[in-house]
Amino acid sequence: MRGGSVLVKMSWVILFVVATLAVIGPWIVPYDPTVGDLGAALTGPGRAHWLGTDYLGRDTLSRLIDGARVSTIAGLQATAIAVVLGGGIGMAIGLLGGWVDRIVMRIVEGISAIPAIVLAIALIAALGSGLSRSMLAVGIAFAMGIARLARGLTLAERERLYVDGARVIGAGRFRLLRRHISPNIAAPMGVEATLVFAHAVTIEAALSFLGLGTQPPAASWGVMLSSAQRAIREAPFQAIPPGLALVLTVLALNIVGDALVRRRRGTALDNPTGYLEPVGMQAAPSHHADTDSVAAAGSEPDPASAPLLDARGVTVRYGDTVAVDRADVTVGHGEVVALVGESGSGKTSVAMAFADLLTPPASANADQVRLGGGEPLELVGADRKTRAAWRSRVGVVFQEPSAALNPLQTVGRQLRDVIVAQRRLATSRDTESDTPSARRPVTEEISSLLTSVGLRRPDEVARLRPGQISGGMAQRVMIAMALAKSPILLIADEPTTALDVTVQSEIIKLLRRLCHEREFGVLLVTHDLGVASELADRVVVMLRGNVVESGPIGTVIAHPSHAYTTALVSAVPRNEPGRAILESPQGQEVVA
């Protein structure tokens, strides 16, 4: 390990020396690297010429220093072309997905099958020789590998929870790419760029050796090797300086690149599925709809008495697997409704369907999913504009707050994005309210939101990144981000699972207080009936995609009507001796 560290440090020193010579080389060379003295041709190393002269009498040391500049420029040109072109293609197809992704990736894979130097020579034959043209060809050749990496990173990054959170607030594709995805894939792209740079330097030297890259009398390590070949018998030493410089530089670049790869967090995989837009809620097939559901979907309820969220016959499928089978869920104004069930019961699928965050292979349909509060919205069969309006009224608190926050942006920056996006949406609809929060400066609004969720020193917290705050603070920030939208419905997906008991209690009290103060509805997803009993007014019990029982939380806990609910109630930890093993309705043992 220590030897590896020494090698990395030595490699950084070599690269620093090469970079320094590339910058200040024109001012420190002892002789003009392009002008020679035939009378001093093939002079050996000495006081006048430390590394001797070539067959035209040009100073080898001067040409070696100037070659560092040429090699650095060549590497930068090829790397910039590869990263810009390949990164742009990769992120674009990762962003679009679908048939565009499939077609472009087949082209990219076909080009990637050709060795880079062969492709470069073919492109040089069409474009012409010269340093800039040859590096354009090399950059295009390496762009295909960069495109594959950028595509895989984009697809992986867009599945992160914090990207889902950004989509909830209405961020478009370009904004997601610019503000959330690009900064988070910059590190692995930078690591790949160092490897591309090393290959580009090597290929430039090979092309210059063949006469296709840098053209004489300009100095290049490849040109110097070509010149040394002419007099290899008379002055074999002339091949050593450029060859050693090339080997050490490329070796140092590879060692540094390998060290950066090892330090990089995680591994980007080439995800062949592609990112897909959230699926819309479709109307349920008419032959499955019962009379009551159809009547409810076709009638216009009284806004004063209608529930805040009224969902009937919700079905969610993943391919051919039915995850949720015709579930009915309602949430009243200022009411907390808990979706309770074990893992795999379908409760999160229902919640994400209400948040309009399901993505293929998931598909959802329902008889009715209506959101009240002001102008009613219907999610079933909604167009893009209606779905955007739906998301603007629904806040989401995810299960893992640390994963749901962008790790590279400060808390204040992420809150600012939500506030600005919400105000822009209100302005586009000509419905911007004249409330104090709408007129308040964004910085004051951020401070107010962080204070409202119980965070002390809000200005200081706003300057921190998610990795600098605790899990409980991160969950409060997530709640603040949800509140920044002024939602009428808050979906909390296991908001206390990743927290310790003390912080769980604080979050439960906070949600209850905010629900009463702001009068929004809360749909709480939890597997813990104890948490539901502390926070919820009503409970909906789910088992294998079906709603098996619902009602007021006190009634359901005191007098459960379903055997599975009885098992859940009995499974709540109590300070009682002699716990029993109950039999679940499916024949599975349930610890009680």
Once rounded to an integer, what is the mean pLDDT over residues 256-263? Answer: 76
The class that CATH gives domain 2-29+50-263 is mainly alpha
Exposure b/e, 439-453, CB count within 10 A at least 16 = b: eeeeeebbbbbbebb
What is residue 168's predicted lDDT score, i.e. its pLDDT? 66
| 81: confidence class by pLDDT, cuts 50, 70, 90 | very high
Give the distance from CA 147 to its chain's centroid. Answer: 16
**H or E element: which one contains 177?**
none
Residue pair 282/380 in contact (Cβ under 8 Å)? The answer is yes
Residue 157 has pLDDT above 80, yes or no: no
Q: Is 497 exposed, middle or buried (0-12, 13-18, 19+ CB in 10 A)?
A: middle
CA distances from 216 to 136, 232, 450 (A): 19, 19, 65
Q: Closest by alpha carbon to 418, among 129, 88, 180?
A: 180
| 16: confidence class by pLDDT, cuts 50, 70, 90 | very high
Residue 293 has pLDDT above 50, yes or no: no
- How far apart, in whole angstroms, are the C-alpha atoms of residue 129 and residue 208? 9
What is residue 20's predicted lDDT score, i.e. its pLDDT? 93
**H or E element: which one contains 194?**
helix 182-209
HEC readout, 410-453: CHHHHHHHHHHHHHHHHHHCCCCCCCHHHHCCHHHHHHHHHHHC
Segments of the chain assigned to CATH 3.40.50.300? 281-404+487-559
Residue pair 463/410 in contact (Cβ under 8 Å)? The answer is yes
Phi, psi of 408 (to 5 degrees): -100, -5
- Give this prediction's pTM: 0.57
The CATH architecture to which 281-404+487-559 belongs is: 3-Layer(aba) Sandwich (3.40)
Residue pair 235/45 in contact (Cβ under 8 Å)? The answer is no
Terminal Cα distance for the chain, rounded: 51
Residue 486 has pLDDT above 60, yes or no: yes
Residue 135 has pLDDT above 90, yes or no: no
Segments of the chain assigned to CATH 1.10.3720.10? 2-29+50-263
Once rounded to an integer, what is the mean pLDDT over residues 376-392? Answer: 85
| 256: confidence class by pLDDT, cuts 50, 70, 90 | confident
- For 327-353, write each residue's pLDDT tens digit: 999 998 888 899 998 888 888 899 888
SS3 89: helix
Once rounded to an integer, what is the mean pLDDT over residues 525-551? Answer: 87
- How far apart, in whole angstroms, are the C-alpha atoms of residue 479 and residue 378? 25
